[in-house]
Structure 1
Amino acid sequence: MNTITVASPKPLDPLDETTSLEAPATARALGPDILRALAILLVMFVHLPEEAAPLPLAGIRPYGWIGVDIFFVLSGYLIGSQLMAEAARRKTVDFKAFYLRRAFRILPAFLLVLAFYTFIPSLRDAPTMQSAWRFLTFTVNFGLDPRAGGTFTEAWSLSVEEHFYLVLPVLVVLLKRRATVVFIACLVVTIVMAGVGLRFALWQSQVGPAVEMQAYKAALAVYLRDVYYPTYNRLDGLTFGVVLAAIRLFKPLLWERYMPPYLVLAVGSMFVIAALVIFSARGPFAETSLPLVFQPLPGAVIGFPLFSAGIALILGALLDLQSRIGRWHLPAVSGIATLSYSLYLTHKGVYHLDQMAFGKDNLLGLSGFVIYFATCFIVAATLWFLVERNFLSLRDHLMPRPGRTGEA
């Protein structure tokens, strides 16, 4: 069998945030920035009230929840690339450095926002909130019933990411010398199919009974709690991101020969479109007011892996096209991508503040849309400049990584 080896690891694609908004454009890969900016805008749209969505965007808003799945693919690719390249170069992974760098990247802004929600209840975007210890231990996505704690629920995806950070370095070290192409392929298929089977079983046993009784609000809460939020059901995007990183790092000639970028872009787009068609098929929920995030059985079971695979292919194609699209001057895209984490942490709370400051009736239509997005970016930029940027600079001063201009 063909073992997975690397003779001369090529440099990683600069994917994650640089330490400064003023960093040169060449320090970033535009394709990932496009996907990251798209992801955060979609997430912001889904939390925007329908009355404040301009008509051209009204059809996009219900699909905004898929932005999180785009983030998962990007994270899988970025973290997978870093860890596997390090393991190939140094024969091991520096666990201490990896976890410290992740802590500097994730925790400062997160803890500050959590502190505001915890100690200033008037800032909460919902009447109830999960216990602070669940946020601090990144277990908030297990058993998360939005009816019993709706404030800062967007932290569920951060919990998924943290679990991924804990597990992947260990897997990379364990599998580095023993893994074969066949073994890795079987592992990936097992992870994806286990997710498919588990979501199917949970939907049938937990969600289905509530649907049969037409208790749709209860069914939505159960679906989010048991199917949508838990880490073990959301591994598709992270897995396909890691697979993309492994192929591009260890089998670059194979990728280049059989995966021409325009063909990959077309196939990935077809996967995404197919997933969106499945997500749009509402079945028994067609006549209800349930949000699109609540998926009937087909979407909940196969929609996630299909969409994630499509995004991974699109990401791979965009990385291959960097020499062409990198010449585009799109500072707004890079700016949004840079602020994406701060935007994600604060956008729901900002809309609540907008309601307090301007009144709910003044946040309708185009004016409400403009106010919402303007205030979101003002708050996010403030958080970035005061917290994120300073801690990233401190991290890079304490733990420099020579030769890298754009990394996590």
Structure 2
Amino acid sequence: MIGPAALAPLPNHEEPLIRRVMPELDSMRGVAILWVFLYHALFVVGDIAAPGPILKSLFVLSRSGWLGVDLFFVLSGFLITGILLDSAQRPAGAYFKNFYARRALRILPLYYLGLIFFSVVLWGRGKVSLGFVSLSLVYLSNLAIVLGYAAAPALQVLWSLSVEEHFYLAWPMLVRAFRRWHLVALLVAVALLEPAVRALGVAVWGVSQTHLSVATWFRLDGLVMGAALALAVRAPSMTRRRFSRIGTGSILVAALIFGAGLPFGILSRKVPLGAALQYSCASLLFAGLLALVVCAGSGRFSRWVQIRPLMAAGRISYCMYLVHVFIIQSFDRAVLTMGSHPGTFLHLPLLSVAVRLLLLLLVTILTSELSFRFYERPFLERKRFFT
């Protein structure tokens, strides 16, 4: 556990790197969910004619929105590993009971509400299969996608929650069983093996792009790099300067690998090099950014990384992630029913896209805020019984 001395304020308005409350991490969650939202919100309007420089810039940004999921993975690996490390000295019963109970209270109520609601609504439209729903009930929606079970995009977003849940189930046992240096060795091994496995998947096994994108065994990079960062920041010899150097070094290495891979197809996951290194570079980049954000959040530059609108979005990011695709597609379906295109329904592309984005974002935020206050919070308050 983190002792009082470790949490005491430091000179020059600096706090410890690891604190009970780290608002800057909510800011990063906010960035991640807004990035993912932009990706899905603009995907359908990317083919409108002559969008102009503003819309072109938005489309370029939105096309990289899939990276928001990798940022979520890095954050999850960092936070979950930190929780486990800080409670590793407790008796085994309390260690496992508290962790799994708190995770269940955070994740399961909203997950199953969303799964049931979307399945009922989409079933009537023929947009979901029994196989997908059945596997999703046990957090195997990513396997359902790999196996080809039909599901609307509103349900397909569950794949990343399945990946995280698999990590949550296995990782606590490993943290409990191994010493920290053994954990470091394991994480390094996985981080090095993942690119090789993906390259083999494309070059030898002929796996599909969908399989490569959603299968747990191909998507561990972000989780293990976040976990490695949690171990590093808790090392007895770690200082703010060293941790910031880890962050800077990670970003530079990611940039160098990406730059060196440009002539060899790193931008395409259809070729072995791109399949191997895209996710690794993204995860390494985000791990580096996370290290720098933690340093800034605990120091004199905290206001630059503790941004209230992003923190607010980060607080409700779980529900935003679950509902945003359903809201987007429901709106676009209504517009198409009226005989218009979602990207030009106001007859001016820029105005149409701006109004559409604002409406979709407001509805998503309002839905998520109501869910957090009146549905999720009662479950979250019960977490105090498992501390």
TM-score (norm 2): 0.80
Give CA-to-partner distance per residue, 1:269-289, whole Å, 9 cap, x none: 3345456658977949xxxxx
Q: Give runs of aligned pairs for residues 208-223 of structure 1, distance below 5 A.
A: 222-223=208-209
Give CA-to-partner distance per residue, 1:290-318, whole Å, 9 cap, x none: xx885532221022222212211221221
The equivalent position to 1:390 in structure 2, one of 375, 378, 381, is 378
Residue 270 of structure 1: SS of its match in structure 2? helix
Residue 149 of structure 1: SS of its match in structure 2? coil
Q: Give runs of aligned pairs for residues 221-236 of structure 1, distance below 5 A.
A: 222-225=208-211, 227-236=212-221
Aligned AA (1:246)? L
Q: Give runs of aligned pairs for residues 9-408 of structure 1, distance below 5 A.
A: 10=6, 28-50=21-43, 52=45, 54-88=55-89, 94-121=95-122, 127-129=127-129, 130-142=131-143, 144-145=145-146, 148-151=149-152, 152-175=155-178, 179=179, 181=181, 183-207=182-206, 222-225=208-211, 227-249=212-234, 251-256=235-240, 258-259=242-243, 261=244, 263-274=245-256, 283=265, 294-322=269-297, 323-327=299-303, 330-359=307-336, 361=340, 363-364=342-343, 365-396=353-384, 398-399=385-386, 401=387
Residue 41 of structure 2: SS of its match in structure 1? coil
Go from structure 1 to structure 2 and tell me whether the alpha carbon gap of 1:378 and 1:358 turns closer, same or farther (over 3 Å shift).
farther
**CA RMSD after TM alignment:** 3.2
Cα distance in 1, alignment partners of residues 261 and 116 from structure 2: 36
1:131 Cα deviation after fit: 2.7
5+ long unaligned stretches in structure 1? 13-25, 209-221, 285-291, 402-408
Identity among equivalent pairs (%): 25
5+ long unaligned stretches in structure 2? 9-18, 47-54, 344-352
Aligned residues, how many? 353
Go from structure 1 to structure 2 and tell me whether the alpha carbon gap of 1:265 and 1:194 turns closer, same or farther (over 3 Å shift).
closer
| Greater mean deviation of Cα atoms: 356-365 or 114-123 | 356-365
Cα distance in 2, alignment partners of residues 9 and 245 from structure 1: 19
- Is residue 52–residue 369 contact of structure 1 (8 Å, CA) maintained in 2? no
Give CA-to-partner distance per residue, 1:117-142, whole Å, 9 cap, x none: 12222787x83345322111111212
1:230 Cα deviation after fit: 1.2
Aligned AA (1:337)? G
1:206 Cα deviation after fit: 3.9
Give CA-to-partner distance per residue, 1:359-395, whole Å, 9 cap, x none: 4736322222222222221222222222222211233
TM-score (norm 1): 0.76
Give CA-to-partner distance per residue, 1:6-62, whole Å, 9 cap, x none: 9999459xxxxxxxxxxxxx9742432222111111111221234647333211111
Cα distance in 1, alignment partners of residues 336 and 191 from structure 2: 46
